[in-house]
Amino acid sequence: MDNNNIYIYGKINLTRVIDMDIAITKMSSKGQIVIPQEMRGAFKEGDKIVIMQDEDRIIMKKADKFSKQLEEDLIFAKRTEAAWKKYEQGKFKTMEFDDFIKEVKKW
């Protein structure tokens, strides 16, 4: 075992603990969050950043690290989520299958 990595052994899984920088920052009243200066090395002004949230975690990654397909998938996921919210709010239209197909062909 090398000295730079910590390994945790379990009955089935072997997990590698990854070294990472940790900092504390605050959110402004406008919802802006400052990335601490020591963590900005990979970013420059104007860079696009993908932000993902899962429960209480937020992950930021430079957009150029993602493929075009992932970008299209994210757009589709947002559109699907927005449509589902409208459906849950009762803001949807019901129609017969044949009418639906006719409507789709207009697109």
- Give the start-to-end residue ranges of the domains of the chain: 1-62, 67-107
Question: Residue 76: what pLDDT?
Answer: 84
Q: What is the mean pLDDT of the chain?
A: 78
- Whole-angstrom CA distances from 53 to 58, 65, 69, 77, 97 are 5, 17, 19, 13, 36
70 in Cβ contact with 85 (< 8 Å): no
Percent of the chain with pLDDT over 70: 79
- pLDDT category of residue 97 using cuts at 50, 70 and 90: confident
Question: Residue 6: what pLDDT?
Answer: 56
- pLDDT category of residue 78 using cuts at 50, 70 and 90: confident
- Whole-angstrom CA distances from 80 to 42, 73, 74, 76 are 32, 10, 10, 6
Q: Average pLDDT for residues 99-103, to the nearest whole number?
A: 85
Question: Residue 85: what pLDDT?
Answer: 86
Whole-model pTM: value is: 0.42
Question: Residue 30: what pLDDT?
Answer: 93
Look at residues 28, 24, 68, 76 and name the one whose alpha carbon lies nearest to residue 48: 68
Q: Which amino acid is at 53?
A: Q
Q: What is the pLDDT of residues 25-75, one digit of tens each?
A: 888 999 998 888 888 887 888 888 888 888 788 888 887 766 677 778 788
